[in-house]
Amino acid sequence: MSAPSSPMPMANTTNINPPPSYGWQPSFYPPTSGYDEVLASMQNQHINQNIYTSTDKLLGSINSTNQYLTAGLNNVGKEVTQSALGLRDAVERGNLTNGNAIERTAGEIKLNTTITDAANRQAMADSFRDVLRAVDAQGGAAQSTTERVGSNLGTAVERNGGNIMTAIEKVAGEGRLTTTVTDAASRQANSDNFRDVLGSVDRNGASAVNTTQAIGSTLLSTIERVAGEGRVTTTVTDAASRQAASDSARDIMGAVERNGGSNGSLVQSAAAALGSAIERNGGDTRTALLTASNLTNSLLTDVRHAIINDVNRGTEELLSSGTQNFNVMSKAVTDSAWETRNAMNSNMLEQLKAFNNIQQQSAQNYASTLLEGQKSTALLSLDGNNHYASLMMEQQKVKEYLSSKGDSHFAMNQLEMHKVKESLAAQAAHNFSALQLDQHKIKESIQAQLADAKYDALKNTQFLADKMCECCCEVKQKIDLVDRDRLRDGLNVERNEVNILKVAEFLDRRWDRRDHGYDRRGDDRRGDDRR
């Protein structure tokens, strides 16, 4: 309000030196009413131009402030939308990750169960095949050993019988030409050979029996060892299956806990990011409003000072030009002095009125700007509160939804884990019962095969004993036949010797010479020996 008082002293300075009155001089200049009007119109035009310029600047600043506020609101809405979309995307990604993790865990559990079942079946089939192969190999080895022992025993008996027959025939052939001493030696040799034959037969039979017993004990130990290995393999397989099941359950629990922790951390991080975004947007909005208010105040102050400076400068220019014109035209202007003063006073009044109007309009514009700023601030605060409340409501809904989903997923995971645990327990019990049944079947089959093997060994032993009895009977018959032949040959030899003695006595009697008879008897005996 102190600014309008500055032109008044300047107006009073014009009345210090009143122009002298030259009423007697004629006026050769045209009337100055047109010049005053032109000057007043120029001043009014300049003032109006300044008013229009300041108004345009003020409207431009208001428009820029409104645009800045609109852009801030759009940015706030965009950031809120992006935060909501990011939260929704994070929730969807978390749900998708949970679904993929659950499906992957279920697939891994099914795959591990299938692999474990296939490994158990393959191990059982391999153990059963090895047991059958061992039983077949041991049975074949026992059968081949028994056959080989029987064939060796038969070959030895036949060879010994052939040797005995050859020796008997040779001894019989030589016994026909030998003496009683040779016959006794032959009998002793035959008895020794018979004793050796019996000893070899007994020794071969004992070795065959020992071999059969050793093969049976080896077969029994092998079967028991194979059965023990099968039981150990079954126990190890069961323990591995239980360990794999426990590891799978632990992995499922770890995956569920890890997914729950990751979901919780994602929700917390999303909530923290949303809260920080809302706080940042509120701070940016407050900063923008304060900046716009300060900018508006500074612009209004600059406009007011510019208007005052323009008015003062125009007034000073006008006063200086009036003073200069008055000094120049003081001699010529006498009648229009008071009109000029009145015109200047009226112009000053108009300028003061215009300045007051401009100041009042500036104050009104400033008040309206402040009111619009307050309205915009209240509207932005209300919108921010509404958005914050809606975001908090949506966040609470999302939190409750995620909590319910997490609880339902946890319950479903617990139910699936319980189902998998029960399925694994039932599978393990079924596998254990199947293994026990298969082991019992294998045991019964092995016992049946052992009984068959024992029965075959007993049959082979009985057959060998029968063969040995038959061979011994044939040997005894052949020995009796040889003894009879040998006795008959001895009787024939004795008869021949008796006949020879009789012939010698007859010849001795005939020749009636003792010495000559003895010589001839000796010659005859030598001849018999030669024969």
pLDDT digits (tens, 9 = 90+) for 249-266: 677 666 656 765 665 566
For residue 435, how many other CB atoms are within 10 A of its CB? Answer: 21
How many CA within 13 A on the CB side of residue 420? Answer: 27
Q: How confident is the model at residue 424 (pLDDT cuts 50, 70, 90)?
A: confident
Q: How confident is the model at residue 212 (pLDDT cuts 50, 70, 90)?
A: low
- pLDDT over 80 (residue 382): yes
Q: What percent of the chain has pLDDT over 70?
A: 50
Q: How confident is the model at residue 83 (pLDDT cuts 50, 70, 90)?
A: low
CA 164 to chain centre: 84
How many CA within 13 A on the CB side of residue 246? Answer: 6
Whether residue 96 lies inside any domain: the answer is yes
Collapsing DSSP to helix, strand or coil, 231 comes out as helix
Residue 67 is which amino acid?
Q
Q: Given the structure tokens 């309008």, which residue do they identify?
A: 4
| pLDDT at res. 330 | 63
Whether residue 302 lies inside any domain: the answer is no
Q: Are 103 and 252 in contact (CB under 8 A)?
A: no
Closest by CA position to 366, among listed 69, 65, 7: 65
Closest by CA position to 50, among listed 299, 321, 303: 303
Number of H helices, E strands in the chain: 5, 0
Number of domains within the chain:
1
Residue 190 makes CB contacts below 8 A (sequence gap 6+) with 168, 171, 479, 482
- pLDDT over 70 (residue 167): no
Q: Are 86 and 266 in contact (CB under 8 A)?
A: no
307/295 Cα distance (integer angstroms):
18
| Joined tokens for residue 23 | 């009423």
Across 261-275, 396-410, 502-516, least confident range: 261-275
Whether residue 35 lies inside any domain: the answer is no
Burial grade of 219 (CB within 10 A; 0-12, 13-18, 19 or more): buried
State the average pLDDT over residues 44-54.
73
Collapsing DSSP to helix, strand or coil, 32 comes out as coil
Q: Which residues span the domain enclosing 280? A: 66-291+374-492
Tell me which long-range contacts 1-9 makes (C-beta under 8 A, separation of at least 24).
3/308, 3/355, 4/352, 4/355, 4/356, 6/312, 6/315, 7/311, 7/312, 7/315, 7/348, 7/351, 7/352
The residue ranking higher by pLDDT, 526 or 202, is 202
Collapsing DSSP to helix, strand or coil, 26 comes out as coil
- The winner for highest mean pLDDT among 134-143, 273-282, 301-310 is 301-310
Residue 114 is which amino acid?
T
Burial grade of 109 (CB within 10 A; 0-12, 13-18, 19 or more): buried
Q: How confident is the model at residue 294 (pLDDT cuts 50, 70, 90)?
A: confident
State the average pLDDT over residues 384-391.
79
For residue 278, how many other CB atoms are within 10 A of its CB? Answer: 19
Question: What's the pLDDT tens digit per position in 324-360?
Answer: 766 666 666 566 657 767 777 787 788 788 778 877 8
For residue 369, how many other CB atoms are within 10 A of its CB? Answer: 20
403/264 Cα distance (integer angstroms):
9
49/240 Cα distance (integer angstroms):
99
Across 41-45, 223-227, 289-293, 438-442, least confident range: 223-227
Q: Are 4 and 356 in contact (CB under 8 A)?
A: yes
Question: What's the pLDDT tens digit per position in 477-516?
Answer: 888 888 888 888 888 888 888 888 888 887 777 776 555 5
- pLDDT over 70 (residue 111): yes
Can you say whether the dihedral through the CA atoms of 473, 474, 477, 483 is positive or negative?
negative
Whether residue 1 lies inside any domain: the answer is no
Whether residue 353 lies inside any domain: the answer is no
- pLDDT over 50 (residue 77): yes
Q: Are 238 and 428 in contact (CB under 8 A)?
A: yes
How many CA within 13 A on the CB side of residue 296? Answer: 26
252/112 Cα distance (integer angstroms):
13
- pLDDT over 60 (residue 222): yes
Q: Given the structure tokens 């809405």, which residue do they identify?
A: 77
Whether residue 345 lies inside any domain: the answer is no
State the average pLDDT over residues 362-368.
78
Whether residue 350 lies inside any domain: the answer is no
Q: Average per-residue pLDDT in the chain?
A: 69
Q: Are 362 and 307 in contact (CB under 8 A)?
A: yes
Whether residue 41 lies inside any domain: the answer is no
- pLDDT over 80 (residue 437): yes
3-state secondary structure 75-90: HHHHHHHHHHHHHHHH
- pLDDT over 60 (residue 417): yes
What would you measure as the largest C-alpha separation in the chain, in angstroms?
Answer: 254
134/150 Cα distance (integer angstroms):
24
The residue ranking higher by pLDDT, 34 or 158, is 158
Question: What's the pLDDT tens digit per position in 89-104?
Answer: 776 776 677 667 667 7
Q: Are 88 and 290 in contact (CB under 8 A)?
A: no
State the average pLDDT over residues 191-207.
67
